[in-house]
Structures are given as structure tokens and as C-alpha cells.
Structure 1
Amino acid sequence: MPKPKVLISRRWPAGVEAKLLSLYDVTLNPEDQPLDADAFRGAMQTYDAICPSVCDTLGSDILNAANRRCKIIANFGVGYNHIDIDAARANGLVVTNTPGVLTEATADIAMTLLLMSARRGAEGDRLVRSGLWSGWCPTQMMSSDVTGATLGLIGFGRIAQAMARKAHHGFGMKILYVKPTPADPEVVDDLHAERCASIEELLPRCDYVSLHCPGGNQTRHLMNAERLRQMKPTAHLINTARGDVVDSRALIDALTEKRIAGAGLDVYENEPHLDPGFLKLDNVTLLPHLGSATISTRTAMGEKVLRNLQAFFAGAEPPDRVV
């Protein structure tokens, strides 16, 4: 029996690619260049499985391709709002993701962004590199305290809770959160966390607000101009969730007008084509989607995809099936 044909849309850790090559008829992407819509449409007719990344958009125009051979979309990432789930379901496509293995790495980046924004780390780095730094002085680059400050979390899943642990136990931060249902009492007790009834209740009380909700139509521009106005002028917004959760133009306006103190972003609308307005601002820290970018985490993500493919082609239920 011929091996299933599998397309890997971007470069993966070498060890995972080697395992895939041993099991399947795999097409890799050694140049690591993004595939366009035409390439994915052709792939739907050529491959039994497509393994996209979170930055590959698979809309209905791709998933509805005629003469479709593809049976499974095995996503390399937790989020899957870049895949048209309704179209996948309508076409009988299985969709899987990679939950549970990138929690700590992404929470680390969220804390990195919080600290960099609070202490003006990116701005300070640029100053030193420019050659214009004239030395220490008592009022240079004054910034915000982190220890003992209040952190508000919009969403309270694995990553948010991991960030809360780091913030509370490491920096003595007070934790507020918004979640449709109450969190595990043991988690709440450990963190002395307080649940707010709404985002509107949470925002005015926080020194730092970190986003941990899924992307998609329900959360698109969740942080809009109105909600940004509800934040303290001394507050900072952190986003490691999905770029479209934040209205980019509204955030740029709020930062430009100093209606909030700063922001730390790892994800963007229309990524990687972020709004150029961000590049003109000193009070925003910009990272290139590094949330899960550790060797062990990305390898674990690839192993999750591999297990999903193995289960599917063995006729079993993939462990991380979302559709």
C-alpha cells in the first residue's frame, strides 16, 4: 500500500521532519517560504494530509476545492481561527491542533513583554544601540513598577494561569481575571485570584492587562477604542493570543495619545504585515510571534501533529481533534 502523501507548509524541527519522512510520502518546505492560496488549493487535490502553521490562511475558497483528495488538516499550533472550520466540517475534513505543550513557553513570553513594556526595555535597547546614550542620570527613562501591581487576564485557560503563577508567586502581583465560568477553586486559592464579572469591570482596576482568549469572529477587536479608554493611563496591554483580538488602529491611537502607557505585542492583525504605525512608537514592544519558539516546545508541537496523523491513518480518533 502506498504511503499517505503529506504536505508540511513550513520548516519544522529536524527531528520531527525525519520521523515524518520515515512514515509518509512527505513534501517539506526547505526554503521555508509561505505558500500562497493557489499552492494550497493544488495541495487539496494532491495530498492526503496538509499540515499548516498558524499563519497559513485556509479559507473556504481553499477547503472547497474540486476533486479534493485531502482528508485531514493537522495544524501545527493551538489556535485554528486561520482555518475556516465551517467549510472544513461541511467537506468532512478532520482538523487537529497541538494543545497543552506550549503553555509555559507562551506564558514566559507574555511575562517578557510585560516586563519590557513596564521597564521600557525595547526603548532602552534602541537608545544604547543608537550611540546617543549619555550615561546614567536620576530621571532617565522612568518606568512602572511590576512587583505588587495588579494584573488582569482576559481569558483564564492554561497559558493565562501559567502567567498568573509567574506573576503572583514571582512578583507578588494581584491577579484579576475574566472567564465565562469560575476557575478551578484550587487555582483561585493558590493565586488569590479574583474573578470579575466583565471586561469592563476588570480594565479600570489593572496596571497590566494580558489577553489570553481565542481568535475568531467572536473576539475580533475585543480590545477596541472604547475598551482601551477604560484602561488606566498608566496601564500596559499585553497580547500573546491572536492579533485580531486587538483593533490595531485603536491601539496605535491610544499609544500615540498616551491614553495608555504602553503595550507589548507578539501577534498582529494581518501578520506578518503589521500596521506600520506601530513602528513609529517608542511605547510599544514588538516581538515576531515568539510565544512557542523554544526548541523543546516546537519539537513537542511537531510530535503532537505526528500522533494525530498516526491515529488518523490507523483509523483511530486523533487525540487532538477539533473538527
Structure 2
Amino acid sequence: MAEPANTPIPGSTPRSGSPTHSQGFRSPSTPSTPTRKKPGVLHIGDPIKYHPDTYALFSARCDIIRPSTAERQRDEFKRALAENRWGDFQAVFRPAWGTGGEMGGWDEELIALLPDSVRVFASAGAGFDWVDVRRLGERGIIYCNSSPAAADAVADFALAMIISTFRHLPWCAAASADPTTFQDCHARATLLSHTLRGQVLGLIGFGHIGQAIAARARPGFGMAVHYHDLVRKDPALEARLSATFHPSLADLLRLADCLVLCTPSTGDGRPVITASTLQRCKPGARFVNVARGGLVDEEALADALESGHLSSVALDVHASEPNVNPRLAALRGDRVLLTCHNAGGTVETHAGFEDLSMRNIMAVLGGGEPITPVNLEFLRRS
């Protein structure tokens, strides 16, 4: 799960054994416009599981409103918001990336139904392509993701994928099943594989995840770290990570031996990696995607592989999940590694998402600064 990963999965129900949230619960039969003395927080999805102490503080400060599973289905959810069933709550809380998305994408239709009292929406996950953060900002609502909680898991996974592109691990693993293919791989893989030391690693995006990858790649493997981002990072950070900034993506593409896409969704649906950008890549370069599948033109990527312009790729995310591009799938086990949106998926990541989401809400409703906001520029404009 990437820059984890986290498009809502419909149809989930609360897990047994999790702490219960009876305080502040409103059933469908509860009269509309309830009154409360504490700020109201609409909790969508499963109960918290990992941080009962943080939740005790959270629920002491806030009135937690937890819609039923039926109320979280889109039509009923819209109806509940329209009739103000849960009153004028101040925050939306989604602590688990596997549930809480039963109502579908948070587009203009849903956002328009939120009460004017809402000030913050805090969610599990690093990605936010399922929510219109611009529109939330225009409504004066801060959206907070949980990217720092996923950074270590995604960076670890990305390094495994980077290694795979240089050492042809899918081929090595698949060939071990048969003596003939074993011998063939043993003889030929050595002529195509490369050590990582001295190779140029090009990071497209240098946020929490990009920096975590750099912190592993330079000291651990001796790679030369270069990056492109919309905003250049502090020189002290660049020095600490031995990272070289490129204001032009084209310059980075021409230089990198392995490109890693680790940037948030563009928000406009346009891919970052296209036929044009791939043509600018160094011949024989490698490509890794731990961001979002929709940021890559997968047909153009398949073209670049089939022509030999790219030597190998590793993709954790895909444009039409859970389906993968059939042309890329046909190259699995040789030059392509395909995984199932797993990069951010660890127990520690889930626990961090839960804790950080609660702390973001408590910070904002307590009059402080949000910890991980992603849409402040839209609030400033509005």
C-alpha cells in the first residue's frame, strides 16, 4: 500500500475485539440536531484498535459520533447529512484505511452536505485521491493525511523494489522451480544485473516517503540520490541526505539509473509519467512506482519496456486496481515485478494512522496547528 495506499474499500464492518465506542453514538432513530457540550467528531469506519490511551483522551475532549454500517452507505449517508441527523459536528475521523469508505469518494456532492461547523477531516492513509481536498479547503476544512506513519514501511518496500529492478529478482525467483530455467538464470542473470553502489537514484517527490527512501539508499547502498519536487527542500536537509535537487523533471529523467515515483496524486487526473517523459529517460533505466497507479500511463510504460528503452520496472500500485495492465502482467517474472498495493501495509503503519488522525483533530479543535495538513493553500486562497 503506497504513499499508503488507501482508497476506501466498500462493505467493511467493525472488527470484533476492538474497543467499543458507545459514548456519543447516534442511531438512525435519534432525533436530529442533537445538542452537545463538547466538539462533535463523526467517526466513520472501524473502531480504534491500537491506541486506547489516545482514544481515552480523544473521547474525553470530543463527543464521538459513530454512524452504523447502514448509515455509512452513500445514499443513507447523504440522507443523514442532509437532515442534520448528527448535528453540527466539528470533525470527520477515519482511523483505518480499510474501512470508512463505504460512502465512496468525497466529492462535491458529499462535501456540500457537511455542516458549516466542520473544521477538520483527518484520515488514515498517505494518499488522498479519493477526497477533493481543494473543495474541502474552499469550505474552510483542513484535510490531514497520515503520511509520516507510512513513510518507513513504504520506504522499506521501495528499496526492495529498487533492488529487484537492478538484480532481476522476479526472474531469479521464478527460475528456481525447474533445473533448466535454474541453470539458464544462473548463467544469464549475472550478465544483466548490477550492484546498487554508484547508481543514480532519481526520486520524483521528496516528502516524508521520498526522504525516507533517500535515508536508506545513500548510506545503506551507496547510491547517488537526486530528486525533483515542486518546492526545493531546506539545504540542511539536502546535505543530511546527500540529495541533489533538480528544478526540472526532464533533467532528473536524463540522469537517473532508477526512477522512483513517490509523489502525491496531482488531483487533476493527469499522469506524471507519460510517453513523453519516458522518452526522456536514460536508455536502460529502471522505474518504480509506490505512489498512485493513475500517475502513470501504463500503456506508454509497456511500450518503453517492450522497446527496450526501460530495462525493468516494479509497480506496487496500478491504474485500475484490483486489475493490472495485461501487457505489464505478461512481462511478470522477467523484467516486471507487480505487487498488490502492499508498500505501506504493516501493523505499525495502521497503528500510526490511527494515532496521528486523533492527534490531528485534537490539535485543530484545541486551537493549535494541524500536524499533517495537505490543503492549507486552498484555505488561504478562500
- Once the two structures are superposed, residues 61-108 of structure 1 have per-residue CA deviations (whole angstroms, 9 ceiling, x without a partner) of 332348899765322123323211233234454422224222222111
* 1:296 has 2:344 as partner: no
Q: Note if 1:320 corresponds to 2:368.
A: no
Give yes or no for the alignment of 1:236 onto 2:291: no
SS of alignment partner, residue 249 of structure 1: helix
Q: In the alignment, which of 216, 219, 226 is matched to residue 166 of structure 1?
A: 216
Partner SS state of residue 189, structure 2: coil
2:130 match: 82
Question: Is contact 1:182-1:195 (8 Å) kept?
Answer: yes
More moved, 138-147 vs 148-157: 138-147
Q: 1:58 to 1:188 in 2, by over 3 A?
A: same
Q: Which has the higher contact order (CA 8 A, sep 6+)?
A: 2
For the 8 Å contact 1:57–1:82, the answer to whether it is kept is yes
Counterpart CA distance in 2 for 1:278 and 1:167 is: 26
Query: Which of 31, 41, 44 is 2:78 aligned to?
Result: 41
Listed one character per residue, the Cα deviations across residues 21-60 of structure 1 (whole Å, up to 9, x for unaligned) are 993343587xxxxx86546535645555352749863222
Counterpart position of 1:32 = none
Call closer, same or farther: CA 1:108–1:281 in 2, change over 3 Å: same
Residues of 1 paired with 2:241 and 2:368: CA distance? 39
CA contact 2:175–2:181 (8 Å) conserved in 1: no
Q: Please state if 1:213 is matched with 2:263.
A: yes
**Which residue among 183, 197, 200 is the counterpart of 1:136?**
183
What's the offset of the Cα at 1:135? 3.2
Aligned equivalents of 1:101 and 1:214: distance in 2? Answer: 15
Flag the 1:198–1:67 CA change in 2: closer, same or farther, 3 A. Answer: closer
- For residues 281-292 of structure 1, the aligned pairs below 5 Å read 281-282=331-332, 283-292=335-344
Structure 1: where are the runs of 5+ without partners? 30-34
Within 5 Å, give how 1:193-204 maps onto structure 2. Answer: 193-204=243-254
Deviation at 1:313, TM superposition (A): 5.7
Aligned partner of 2:5 in structure 1 is none
Q: Where does 1:48-87 land on structure 2 (aligned, <5 Å)?
A: 48=89, 49-51=92-94, 53=97, 57-65=105-113, 72-87=120-135
Could you tell me which residue of structure 1 aligns to residue 295 of structure 2? 245
Q: Which residue of 2 aligns with 1:26?
A: 66
Moved more, 52-61 or 229-238: 52-61
What fraction of aligned residue pairs are identical, expressed as a percent?
A: 25
For the 8 Å contact 2:202–2:259, the answer to whether it is kept is yes
TM-score, normalization by structure 1: 0.81
Take 2:81 and 2:193, find their aligned partners in 1: how far apart are those partners? 51
Letter in 2 for 1:41: K
Are 1:274 and 2:324 counterparts? yes
Give, in whole Å, the separation in 2 of the partners of 1:279 and 1:12.
37
Structure 1 residue 263 displacement after superposition? 1.1
Q: 1:136 to 1:265 in 2, by over 3 A?
A: same
Contact 1:44 1:69 in 2 (8 A): no
Shift in CA distance, 169/126, structure 1 to aligned 2, threshold 3 Å: same
Q: Output the CA distance in 2 between the equivalents of 1:28 and 1:36.
A: 9
Selected match of 1:258 from 308, 330, 334: 308
In 2, Cα distance between the equivalents of 1:7 and 1:261?
46
Size of the alignment, in residue pairs? 316
- Partner residue of 2:44? 8
User: Residues 303 and 218 (structure 1 numbering): CA distance in 2 closer, same or farther, change over 3 Å?
Assistant: same
CA shift for structure 1 position 160: 1.4
- Taking the aligned partners of 1:156 and 1:115, their CA distance within structure 2 comes to 20
Verify the 8 A CA contact 1:151 1:173 in the aligned structure 2: yes
Long gaps (5+) in structure 2 = 1-22, 26-39, 376-382
Distance 2:148 2:55 in 1: 21
Deviations 1:91-131 (A, max 9, x none): 454422224222222111111111122222223333335x5
SS in 1 for 2:149: coil
